[in-house]
């Protein structure tokens, strides 16, 4: 059976105290709406519809980047969840499968849970995702009779007996497309908020002789984000899971609580990660690599048995081959460091290709930007770049070429050649003592 997603992302999120739409705030480097879309992708939806409202232009731009096939529709007035889902009616016209309604501010619903919803929808007209709440508080309650779901009652509309129920509503629901929209058409707004509740479709379904049931998941999966404190809690939940999964897969984290992963970090077995390492989006680390303390990686590849850090920064486009070394206070950007090459300390290598077994001395800078354009530097295999060398791109150093310390390279250096470009030092005997005496005398007069 085909599935479709309707993801609700229209809420203002005023408790976030932000000009940024709530669903664009990030957990692990990915907007909340991206987490919902990523979860939904696990059921291979034939269609994805995102209902936007507050900050619609910004939200729709992000949705288009994450999934160009997703369709966005707008909820101009915030009249409740039932009204929000109804905005997807036209976008799902003619669809014959199951529709799953998700929320753009609920990032942790698992693939297993969504698959359970799909399976349940094959035998039930309506399926709701519920959870046992430690503190039910203001959650809607699932009123059940065995496996049958009778109705959902919002906390503000619940009786004392209904408030004692701890099986709560996550808001996530699955139903056949035609059934869902027929039920939504009958939803009214005779309630304490004057809104059209999606939850009312359960009672309407039972009134029409249709079946309704529920599946459950851990409460942590239903965590919604409404303010900055909850956003921080969600980040903590993600990081805790990511660290645990990494260690179970064969990664050593020397100080797990200080390591931060992105939503898409790929890290292979036998990788060693030191304290206070941050993996931004788009990082892949291969087998046996070592990422040492206080390093920051983003948009890069670290090859097998390569070493990074401590205190290194790998920016987007950095590609370290196996056995290469990037040391302390080194920044690599949009550059390939080939097998066995070394950039051990205090250097910037950007828009460059460093050949196999080349050695880049301390203080080396590839001068890649002229104020308007970026230019590339090519360093050949086995080259030796002396300390404090400036390579003014575009420029090439040949294989086994060398620069003397302090050289400014402005033209290509052939294979095996030595480039020396520094001013001759002038030594004046005794001048340092005389100069210091004069300076001290001036200071005494001034004081």
Contact 6, 80 (CB under 8 A): no
Distance CA 350, CA 335 (A): 6
CB atoms closer than 10 angstroms to residue 98: 24
Distance CA 51, CA 33 (A): 11
For residue 156, what are its two tokens? 């503000």
265: helix, strand or coil: coil
Element (H or E) spanning 236, and its range?
Answer: helix 228-248
Q: How far is CA 287 from CA 243, 305, 322, 363, 374, in A?
A: 17, 7, 9, 30, 33
For residue 405, what are its two tokens? 């310390």
Distance CA 53, CA 423 (A): 64
State the catalytic residue, choosing from 35, 83, 345, 353.
345
Active site residue 345: yes
Q: How far is CA 139 from CA 16, 163, 165, 171, 231, in A?
A: 20, 9, 10, 10, 19
Helices and strands in the chain: count of H runs, count of E runs: 9, 35
Distance CA 303, CA 286 (A): 5
Q: How far is CA 174 from CA 153, 171, 255, 344, in A?
A: 18, 10, 42, 55
Report residue 418: phi and psi, to 5°: -110, 130
- Active-site residue set: 345
């Amino acid at each position: 059976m085909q599935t479709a997603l309707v993801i609700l992302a229209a809420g203002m999120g005023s408790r976030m105290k932000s000009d940024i739409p709530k669903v664009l705030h990030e957990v692990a480097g990915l907007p909340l709406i991206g987490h919902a879309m990523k979860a939904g992708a696990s059921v291979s939806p034939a269609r994805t519809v995102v209902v936007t409202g507050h900050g619609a232009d910004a939200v729709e731009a992000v949705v288009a980047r994450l999934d160009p096939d997703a369709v966005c529709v707008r909820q101009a007035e915030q009249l409740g969840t039932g009204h929000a889902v109804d905005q997807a009616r036209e976008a799902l016209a003619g669809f014959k499968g199951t529709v799953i309604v998700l929320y753009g501010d609920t990032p942790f619903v698992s693939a297993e849970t969504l698959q359970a919803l799909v399976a349940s929808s094959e035998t039930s007209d309506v399926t709701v995702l519920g959870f046992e709440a430690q503190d039910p508080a203001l959650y809607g309650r699932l009123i059940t009779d065995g496996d049958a779901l009778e109705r959902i009652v919002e906390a503000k509309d619940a009786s004392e007996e209904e408030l004692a129920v701890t099986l709560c509503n996550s808001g996530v629901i699955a139903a056949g497309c035609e059934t869902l929209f027929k039920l939504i058409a009958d939803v009214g707004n005779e309630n304490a908020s004057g809104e059209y509740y999606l939850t009312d479709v359960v009672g309407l379904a039972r009134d029409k002789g249709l079946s309704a049931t529920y599946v459950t998941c851990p409460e942590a999966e239903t965590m919604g984000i409404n303010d900055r404190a909850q956003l921080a809690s969600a980040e903590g939940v993600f990081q805790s899971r990511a660290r645990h999964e990494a260690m179970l897969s064969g990664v050593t984290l020397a100080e797990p609580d200080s390591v931060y992963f992105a939503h898409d970090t790929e890290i292979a077995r036998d990788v060693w990660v030191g304290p206070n390492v941050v993996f931004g989006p788009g990082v892949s680390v291969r087998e046996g690599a070592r990422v040492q303390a206080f390093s920051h990686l983003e948009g890069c590849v670290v090859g097998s048995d390569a070493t990074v850090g401590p205190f290194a920064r790998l920016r987007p486009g950095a590609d370290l081959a196996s056995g290469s070394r990037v040391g302390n206070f080194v920044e690599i950007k949009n550059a390939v460091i080939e097998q066995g090459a070394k950039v051990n300390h205090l250097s910037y290598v950007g828009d460059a290709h460093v050949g196999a077994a080349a050695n880049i001395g301390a203080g080396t800078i590839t001068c890649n930007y002229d104020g308007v354009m970026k230019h590339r530097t090519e360093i050949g295999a086995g080259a030796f770049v002396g300390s404090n060398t400036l390579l003014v791109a575009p420029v090439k150093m040949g294989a086994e070429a060398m620069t003397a310390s302090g050289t400014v390279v402005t033209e290509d250096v052939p294979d095996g050649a030595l480039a020396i470009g520094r001013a001759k030092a002038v030594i004046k005997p005794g001048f340092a003592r005389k100069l210091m005496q004069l300076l001290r005398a001036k200071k005494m007069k001034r004081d």
